[in-house]
Chain A
Amino acid sequence: MRSLKLLAAVVLAALVHFVGVRLWPDFARATDVFLVVVALYGLEGSSLSALLVGMLVGLLQDTLTSGPFGLFGFADTIIGYATARLAQRLVIQRPTGVLALVGFASVLQQVIVLGLAFVLLPTPETPSPLWTAIRAASCGLLGMVVYVAGGSWRRSAEARRRGRMSKLRLD
């Protein structure tokens, strides 16, 4: 069930990415839906599964870039592991905590990718601080919205389930 949910999340992220880039050419620069999936998975998963999911999602994202294949795979492996470890140590329950965590993950990802690019590419480009900040903020916001929406969906599903159970008892 968890794998299916993850697969659905990745497919949805890819669709959002494709539609976003079609509607707004700067979408890929302004946000990273794949990173949000990795970070949110890391919040709820074990650190081993989070690092493996991070690697796979990152490699998928590498398909949509022209850089050396594996830049995002490497960065998202660290992101997945780091978010999972953080979630084990800190109790992140508030939506603002998720915002801060995903925003930090976005900055960390960009730093790792840039560092690798400087090692591997002859003339790497330094992304503008403005776009880095926009990306971090939008990823954080998106992560928070998905987290809140997921939480309320879970609560309503639970309430429905309880309602059904109480009806069964009455019958």
Chain B
Amino acid sequence: MDERRTGWVLIVVLVGQLVYLAVQGARAGQTRLEAVGLRLLGPMARGVASIPEGLKDAREGVKLRGTLVDENRRLREEVAVLRLRLLRLTDVEGEMLRLGSAMRYSTPPAGRIRAVDIVYVDHTSWLRTMILYTGKERARKDQPVLSPGGLVGRVITVSGPYAKVQLLTDRAAAVGGMILRTRRQGVVRGTGRGSGLELDYVPLQADVRPGDRVLTAGIDGVFPRGIPIGTVIAVEAGGQLFHRIQVAPAVDFGTLDQVYLLDYQAVPQTLKEAAPGAKP
């Protein structure tokens, strides 16, 4: 093919891709091509991720018996402490439910969590992402992803047993958040710079201090209330109306190797389908 024809092919391909990008932006959903790519790269990422696990298992296998006995004793003690704490919390939960029913207040379902493996995570580049291997039980789009430290993000693409996660620190991510001390609500956004977050739309009159803990507010229709997001590290007067609040995430994304998927749906699917234009 001569160069002139190739030039035309280039123009057609580029215009096609631009149209594809524009259409995708308008539809704001997962694309079939992306799912295919995830299906191709997911097993490779999983294979690479399983190598350190294998090495770790081998290392654990040759650990001295004494070390294992010590570790076992320590874990038994930890379990005993946690059981006591659970007893106390069960009591508190019962009390809360009784009070709730007296007030005719129905608490939203807490949701079931299940552990899934991270097969790929890039939390430093500006188009950061995470890929999970969810096994036979597939993930759902918009499913919240947690770690023991707090909120990690939400599932944006699902392809077979693999799921792509939008991290909380992504500059396109937004979560309804609230300050634990004052219950003041705002929107937590990823800054895209490092692992920073910002809490927006908190008016200048609101009382916010460095050290305040920020939790999910449960107002976005994606995340339930009360999941730790981070801690306020700096408060500045932003524009004329709102504070400029910097938040350090509760999760250290560099140390994650396993996360939890939360089966939680704040807005019932039927309601979402009834109003397709409405976004949570």
- What is the interface of chain A, defined by CB distance below 8 A to chain B? 11, 14-15, 18-19, 21-22, 25-26, 28-29, 46-48, 51-52, 55, 59-60, 62-71, 73-74, 77-78, 81, 85, 116, 120-125, 127
Residue among B21, B123, B126 making CB contact with A74, cutoff 8 Å: B21
Are A51 and B171 neighbours in the complex by a CB distance under 8 Å?
no
When A and B form their complex, what is the total count of cross-chain residue pairs whose Cβ atoms lie within 8 Å? 123
> What residue in chain A is nearest B41 (Cβ atoms)?
A63
User: Closest Cβ of chain B: how far from A14's Cβ, in Å?
Assistant: 5
CA gap between A85 and B21 in the complex, in Å? 26
Are B127 and A65 neighbours in the complex by a CB distance under 8 Å?
yes
- What is the interface of chain B, defined by CB distance below 8 A to chain A? 1, 3, 6, 9-10, 13-14, 17-18, 20-22, 24-25, 31, 33-34, 37-38, 40-41, 44-45, 48-49, 52, 120-129, 131, 156, 164, 166-167, 170-172, 191-193, 254
User: Closest Cβ of chain B: how far from A27's Cβ, in Å?
Assistant: 8
Task: Beyond A25-B123, A68-B25, list 15 extra A-B contacts (CB 8 Å).
Answer: A18-B45, A18-B49, A28-B125, A29-B125, A51-B13, A59-B33, A60-B40, A66-B127, A66-B128, A66-B164, A66-B172, A67-B127, A74-B14, A120-B21, A121-B172
Q: B192 contacts which chain A residues (CB < 8 A)?
A: 123-125
Q: B17 contacts which chain A residues (CB < 8 A)?
A: 55, 70, 73-74, 77
Are B48 and A28 neighbours in the complex by a CB distance under 8 Å?
no
Are B129 and A66 neighbours in the complex by a CB distance under 8 Å?
yes
User: Closest Cβ of chain A: how far from B122's Cβ, in Å?
Assistant: 5
Q: B6 contacts which chain A residues (CB < 8 A)?
A: 46-48, 51, 81
CA gap between A73 and B22 in the complex, in Å? 14
